[in-house]
Chains A and B, each alone.
Chain A
Amino acid sequence: MPSRVVIVGASLGGLRTAEALRKAGFSDEIVVVGAEEHLPYNRPPLSKEVLAAGISHTAVAFPMRASVSDVTWRLGVPAADCDIDRRVLTLADGATLDYDGLVVGTGLRSRRLAVPGPPPTVAAGRHSLRTLDDAAALRTELVPGARIVVLGAGFIGCEVAATARTLGCEVTAVAIDPYPMVRPLGALLGAQTQRRHEAHGVQFRLGAGVTAFHGDVKVTGVELSSGEVLPADVVVEAISSHCNTEWLASTDLDLTDGVLCDNTLRAHRRDGSPIDGVHAVGDLARFPNPLFDDVPRRVEHWNIPTETGKRVGSALAAYLSGEGYDAAIASEFAPLPAFWSDQFDMRLQSFGAPGLAGGDPDDIRILEGDLEDEVIVGYHRGERLMGVVGIGMLKSVMAYRSAIGHVATAAS
């Protein structure tokens, strides 16, 4: 009897998993279930050029390879429940899908602030930014002179702030952190990010919490923990995210911060045992990376859905065919995380895991360049280089790729 793989999550991780299954010779049925109406599309442009230039699915859709032309896409219907032991997925419309292999790739959604004031809806002027529809809704609000308050100063917050400012909006970014981008970059480059944003006219309120939104039907202001009220036409909430794992709540999977996985991305039960044929990909897969250590972590960088999707596609195809599965599990998966961010004329490019730097003041230090201009900063744990971040100097930054995870020496 032909087997069936169900991939839950129709974004980059799901697409790459389907492609890798086909590449590894799996020729039976693949069904991809997606909560959004859209076929997989590229999300990074949503806070950058697409937000600035206009929104269409065509502009950001991933090309479809011929190998996945026979995949069944069930779009616009989220998963509702799953029975891991009986291998049955239930969708929100009540339909059920039996499966032989299951891939969890439902990703994240934006966390919304729970404070008094108008509800977290576009109609109330409260936006978030993870999907194409979110970007389309926000785009219409970013007109010259509009007062935009961005909550959160991580990747999305800073990119939206820069894009909105470039479009002529009055932008204030509010964050509980002491610097923008401080969690991925540390204080050294966080302060540089702040300086460069301020030079373009973005204002910051740092070390600040939000206590309420003012306004009746629509937000008119954001009240901070200091008592200050920032006038606002539009609020963008980019504070953090939730993993979309509610549909797995009735299972005994370990859902502490995403889906706990082994190095083959097999999902773990709460008793610590991995489940053959059930894998996770993308932002919500919490897996150990031997490039750094044996601690399972989620990695919310763009290259991870592709890396995990390829890993899972080949392992799952081996499991379902019964050939080469032991070798697939025994092989080591050590993807090099990478991220970039474009904010005004600043290009940030990183390889490795800067966030894993140790606590010693000297662990984060300049490797090349000038902090005020173009610079490369190294993030160390003891003598090991855990990550690098460059502002500009792209070609030089790339030279450090092979040094990540190793005892630091000069780039070669």
Chain B
Amino acid sequence: MRVTVDMDACQDHGQCCFAAPEVFHLDDDGHLVYDANPDDSLREKVEDAVDVCPTQAITVAD
């Protein structure tokens, strides 16, 4: 699974970090960092992260 975050759209709301903490987290400055190639077993959590992103910045491809 390939995860892409449009970093121009991302506003560091951090909602994805609660939906899929294995994939998304905020660094010490509060900016998003993420794993672009997470394990397929995390698909459901990543889909939840896509849903809760206020700026709809996350996309998932197989």
Contacts and interface: CB of A to CB of B under 8 A. Distances in A.
Interface of A: 16, 42, 44-45, 62-63, 302-303, 306, 338, 340, 342, 347, 349, 394-395, 398, 401
A401 B13 CA distance: 13
B26 A395 contact: yes
A384 to B, nearest CB: 21
B30 A63 contact: no
B51 A398 contact: no
Contacts of B14: 394-395, 398
B51 to A, nearest CB: 5
A340 B13 contact: yes
B12 A398 contact: no
Contacts of A347: 11
Given A63-B56, A63-B59, A395-B30, A16 B51 contact: yes
B5 interface: no
Given A63-B56, A306-B52, A340-B54, 12 more contacts: A42-B55, A62-B56, A302-B54, A306-B51, A338-B15, A347-B11, A394-B12, A394-B13, A394-B14, A395-B30, A398-B14, A401-B18
B23 interface: no
B54 A394 contact: no
Contacts, number: 32
Interface in B11-48: 11-15, 17-18, 26, 30
Contacts of A302: 54
A302 B59 CA distance: 19
A39 to B, nearest CB: 14
A95 B20 CA distance: 43
B9 to A, nearest CB: 9
A398 B59 contact: no
Contacts of A303: 15, 52
Contacts of A395: 14, 26, 30
Contacts of B52: 303, 306
B13 A42 contact: no
Nearest to A309: B51
B56 A42 contact: yes
A42 B55 CA distance: 8
A44 B52 CA distance: 13
Nearest to A396: B30
8 A-B pairs with the lowest CB-CB distances in the bound complex, closest first = A395-B30, A395-B26, A306-B51, A398-B14, A394-B30, A42-B56, A394-B14, A302-B54
